[in-house]
Structure 1
Amino acid sequence: MDVQFLGGAGEVGRSAVLVDESLLLDYGTKTATPPQYPLGSAGGGRGVDPNAVVVSHGHLDHVGAVPALLSGEARPEIHWTPPTRELALTLARDTLKLHGNSPRCPFTGEDVRRIGEVSVEHGYGEPFEAAGYEVTFFEAGHIPGSAHVIVDDGDTRLLYTGDFHTDDQRLVSGTTARPDADVVICESTYSDVEHEDRTAIEERFAESVKTTLWEGGTVIVPAFAIGRTQELMLICEAYDVPCYVDGMGTEVTEMLRQYPEFVRNADALRRATSHARVVTGRDGQRERIVDQRAAIITTSGMLSGGPAMTYIPAIRANPTNKITLTGYQVEGTPGRSLLETGSAEIDGRVMPVSARVEQYDFSAHADRSGLLDFLESYRDAEVLVNHGDRCEAFAEELRADGYDASAPELGARVTV
């Protein structure tokens, strides 16, 4: 089995792994200016011709470029769980809305429409055939519908972990799956981080927000639309924090409620949805809300688009206000700049921010202990480390612990 890393090697973003020039695992984009796509995708277009595509989950860095695979004559089947399909379509439509008339957009509305012609949905633990391989999904504990992927050619069992979490979140339970594998392609986003106890983080976040509201301030809570927005809604309901929800996260929440079997507690999600007030953006609603004492959960999580672009300029000058970043900030994004410099580029202008800025680790990824606990089941397997800023360092640490581990470079081909 030959494996080529077209993206996600030594980086977070544009995940894409090609197996035997035939089966493509994920096909994502990397948040940057301009956006980056997997190798071979000149100008963001289709650069590979797989016989089939398997998608691990519905985040932009894993599924964002998938419609581009349908821009030519080829029509590879796309295999995913039902929520991942819905999330992929939501992201594709949003990309078209933001960049549809720009060379930055790697696909057209017609390409997105074609997804319906080739989409094949699967549940967990149900083997299926794709490009001549037997493929099986296992619950990965990252977001609803996220999956570990086993690829079996009869001789070698390859485990592509996708993104995963070993601890419970309010939205989804941590993964307990440890399917047999000869080779593991393992994500490593937080390979040098130990997550703080989740309850302690939640309590600190809720207390901080309530304090700011009591002082008369507004709290902007930038959040990824998929997974993070719903997690924060659940936290706000649990701690009785009044909140608004704005952006794509509202649409995603309603969609996820249609798949109760893919969330940890469907009743809790229903209560959280009732607790939050939805922002429609009509009739100057955002301008009115920003003058109230309110917590506003809004996209984008890295301040690179979405309604956050309206809220941040409006609240930035008042030190009573607060911005609580709740997720990983990719290098080169306004969110990362805000953390490092106290200013952020919004709509082409660098704006100093006097509002207080805090960051909370509500990560949906396994931390170092979680990664090591997961990999303990694969001491006899070959481990290929990807999806991280320090892949080689983590692979070296694994080798020192007795693993057969390496970190392929971008574009590398590995025979396993």
Structure 2
Amino acid sequence: MSVHQLNAETRSRTDVIVIGAGQAGMSASYYLCRAGIEHVVFERSERFHTWKNERWDTFCLVTPNWQCRLPDFPYRGKDPEGFMLKDEIVDYVEGFAGSFDAPLWEGVRVTRVAELAEGGFEVDTTAGNWHAAHVIVASGGYDTPILPAFAGRLDDGIKQLHSRHYKRPEDVPEGTCLVVGTGQSGVQMMEDLWIAGRDVRLAVGPAPRSPRRYRGRDATDWLYEMGHYDQTIDQQPDPKATEAKTNHYMSGRDGGHEIDLRQFARDGLQLYGSVSDMEGGVIRFLPDLEKNLDEADRSYMGIRDAIDVHISGQGLDVAPAPAFEKVWRPEREVTEIDAVAEGITSVLWCIGFRPDYSWLKVDCLDERGKPVHRRGVCAREGVYFLGLGWLNKWGSGRFLSVAEDAEFVVGCIAERLRGGAERRARG
């Protein structure tokens, strides 16, 4: 691994600039190295910064280890059906980084990318000005934590944290913590606090949930066998809606288990609907708790039903599963509480992030500020994206398919570079 330091001798022109050294950017670098294409990778912090510094202590994969398939570096451990813990994930990605010699510049921030009149791109960085024919944006989608505007109106005596800053239960003040959001982070952080014996409550959003094990196998094993992970975004009935979907919640903790919020409620967890407003010590909720629980169960049952159809269609001799039962339902919907009177001393926001492309001065984003591309390749020649959810398949933003995407994008770059060389030779 060549981690470059700033110096005046380093050239400021290259064929490809890769922005970001997470698994997507480093996968791109792997294939660029293999193709012999000159490039640099700029990382504003350190490689794999998010895995190292922006995960809580008990974080683990939600998908099984066998889905870790970085370029020519599949998971080779002893527990392919298990779920790596945070430190094991860091060891895995660092092992991949050590398998080749990436031209990596750490601690270098890209501040501006703009088109050049003569072609190619000008890339301003904290390491000076660079020119490149191609730019791969692999900076991820976790730049800016999302907080609703009304969060600023909550009583100052109630501490507010975003999921990015949660590491362990001790980070949360004594008293009751209201966790907001039921994506994968929200339910797992709630469970982390619950297991630690903390007083925690949960505002339930519209996130779907998934079985963990079903009819003798992990649900993801069945889905892989069924070809679910081979479906592309173009095959989805509504691609934009698919891109916007929240991930199904379940857990890889302690060998993996599903999370049924109804069971938690039966065991004493206070559930509310979606947070709709805050003012002083008052927190308001939409009356959508039962609706959200029902929707989560509908996605859960949809996965079970699809697996049942597959098992039947293949004539597999697999034992049937117990019938699904809704073990709890709310007797009434609580739409307003006095947080101070309820003893709530903190709110943990787990409602996601948004990317920041303010530095990207190239016409490649839509009216929502989202990249416009086809399989990572933009209409504006020379601009590419990697590492986004559903870039091409479900696994594009994960270890499962990022290598496939990176290889495709680098193949497009190699073809364009060859075409340019041929034109210059003829000219």
- TM-score (normalizing by structure 2): 0.34
- TM-score (normalizing by structure 1): 0.34
Higher relative contact order (CA 8 A, sep 6+): 2
Larger radius of gyration: 2
